[in-house]
Amino acid sequence: MKDNIIYAFNPRFGKKLKDKVEGKNPLFLCVIATTETAKIPGISAAGQNPDLIDYTPSADVELLYYSHCRCFHGIPVTPDGVPTPALITLSALKLSLIPFLVVNGGLKVDPKTPYIDVGGSPGNDITTGHAVKDPGEIIERAKLVGKNLAENHDYLIIGESIPGGTTTALAVMLALGIDAKGKVSSSMSVNPHSLKTETANEGLRSMGIAFGELQDDPVKAIESVGDPMQAATVGLVLGVDGVVPIFLAGGTQMAAVAALLYSMSPKSLQQAGIATTRWIVEDKTSDIRSIVHRSSGIPVIAANLNFAYSKHRGLKAYEQGVVKEGVGAGGAALAAILKSRNKITPIVLERKIEEEYTQLVEGNK
């Protein structure tokens, strides 16, 4: 029998974290934002065209709340028709009855759902060197949210949806002096590393920032070449301040957030881990272990989902390296496994995901 959970990095601390939260009651937060960076041709698979990119994060959280999207017809898919990982998140949250809230980091199009506003604006193209407006204010407001939500919840899981987010992740890591070139993940099976590196470097160059120059000024790194999701998530975690465990639910984007946090307040990460999918930790086109090893050092834990035997082409594509992660899919799946003390297994989740897929994508709804 295969394991439900993969301890992909720092397993000793990862297992401790798991023991702490197993059977407990978390809150899932999904931080959504947009960055114009996603519209650089070739950067992101989210949305079939640049305009749809603006709608993707909002459509994702509409899916979580209503089991259908309201801001457009259908659901977010890659150009090949592979569905958003929100489908995984939705299934995991439904099965485990884990409550969730949305945090709006800064969006072109607001979702037709309730959301927590932290004063953010949509992110600019990082090649301008002015990526995020007033990240300090976003961080301060998000801190107040994290502080208050930590009070009555056993732990928090924080996911994200921001097309283009791995490029901004790369850029802030370069600013912090973490050589993540060729190591960030992609929602496409062919990872456009050189385009991402060029884009990140252009952003740094436009502000005259050398590699590692902002290692002691992570807020400036976000402001120059980051994205609003990073600002909001950093704020939430700083607000929790290590008081309860936190899972940063995502791939290399969350590794970048952890790196930012490590440079601001290692204490805020004292009970933190990255929760992701098997597709991220087994990905040959990226290297989350190497990134985390060079930066925050926090554990990386993955939900052992496998769509190889799915009857749906759109889900099988996950095994070819399409999509991989997003909307906190891995973290939500992990939390469902942990809250249920392994009653909700990856197999149970896969069945539920197939069911939701059938209803949504094949239009039986």
Binding site for its own copies (CB under 8 A): 25, 27, 65, 97-101, 104, 110, 112-119, 141-142, 144-145, 147-149, 151-154
Nearer to its own copies, 45 or 158 (CB): 158
Query: 3-state secondary structure string, 81-107?
Result: CCECCHHHHHHHHHHHCCCEEEEEEEC
Nearer to its own copies, 240 or 300 (CB): 240
- For residues 55 and 110, give the distance between their C-alpha atoms in angstroms, rounded to a whole number: 8
Nearest approach, Cβ of 158 to its own copies (angstroms)?
A: 15
Query: Using an 8 Å Cβ cutoff, are 124 and 203 in contact?
Result: no
| Total residue length of the chain | 365
Edge-to-edge strand ranges of the sheet holding 300-303: 5-9, 300-303, 272-277, 246-249, 155-161, 26-33, 100-106
Nearer to its own copies, 153 or 278 (CB): 153
Nearest approach, Cβ of 104 to its own copies (angstroms)?
A: 7
Nearest approach, Cβ of 152 to its own copies (angstroms)?
A: 5
The tokens for 265 are: 């307040």
Nearer to its own copies, 117 or 362 (CB): 117
Q: How many CB atoms lie within 10 A of CB 363?
A: 8
Q: What is the largest CA-CA distance in the chain?
A: 54
Closest of 80, 100, 85 to residue 165, by C-alpha: 85
CA 224, chain centre distance (Å): 20
Closest of 5, 39, 44, 40 to residue 302, by C-alpha: 5
Task: Identify the helix (H) or strand (E) that includes residue 18.
Answer: helix 11-21
Nearest approach, Cβ of 153 to its own copies (angstroms)?
A: 5
Nearer to its own copies, 235 or 273 (CB): 235
Nearest approach, Cβ of 300 to its own copies (angstroms)?
A: 26
Nearest approach, Cβ of 71 to its own copies (angstroms)?
A: 12
Nearer to its own copies, 52 or 101 (CB): 101
Q: How many CB atoms lie within 10 A of CB 212?
A: 14
CA-based end-to-end distance of the chain: 35
Nearest approach, Cβ of 148 to its own copies (angstroms)?
A: 4
What 3-state class would DSSP assign to 248?
strand
Nearer to its own copies, 138 or 259 (CB): 138
Nearest approach, Cβ of 329 to its own copies (angstroms)?
A: 19
Nearer to its own copies, 148 or 194 (CB): 148
The tokens for 316 are: 């099988």
Q: Is 235 exposed, middle or buried (0-12, 13-18, 19+ CB in 10 A)?
A: buried
